[in-house]
Amino acid sequence: MRLIPIGISRESDGISYMSPEDFSNARYDGVQLRSDGKKNPVVIMHSKQTDPLRWKVVYGFSQVFFRSLAEAVEFCNSRGFQLMKDQVEK
């Protein structure tokens, strides 16, 4: 059997096709998609339950929890996690 590649792209290009909703699950909604310096996805998520820490930032193998969206956004900004272009308010 002969394999013929039908499309080749860099892994870093994949994040441009993602949206925060792609990371939603039964417990969390994806709210905001960012990228780190290596173009890996960073997601701010909101809990569907009434947990004391309803917001979390997921990046790599790490999860950090926060009380408010503002705290989560400040954490991302302090680490240099850039907001994806299509989510930037005009």
Residue 9 lies in a domain: no
> Using CA atoms, how far apart are residues 40 and 61, in angstroms rounded to an integer?
11
Q: How many domains does the chain have?
A: 1
Q: In this structure, is residue 54 part of a structural domain?
A: yes
Distance between CA atoms of 81 and 59, rounded to whole angstroms?
10
Transcribe 16-33 into DSSP letters.
GG--GGGG--SSEEEEEE
Please name the residue ranges forming H helices in 18-89: 69-78
- Domain range enclosing 40: 30-83
Residue 90 has a pLDDT of 42
- Does residue 66 form part of some domain? yes
- Predicted local distance difference test score (pLDDT) of residue 33: 94
pTM of the shown model: 0.79
Q: Mind listing the pLDDT tens digit for each residue in 23-63? A: 999 999 999 999 998 888 999 999 999 878 999 999 999 99
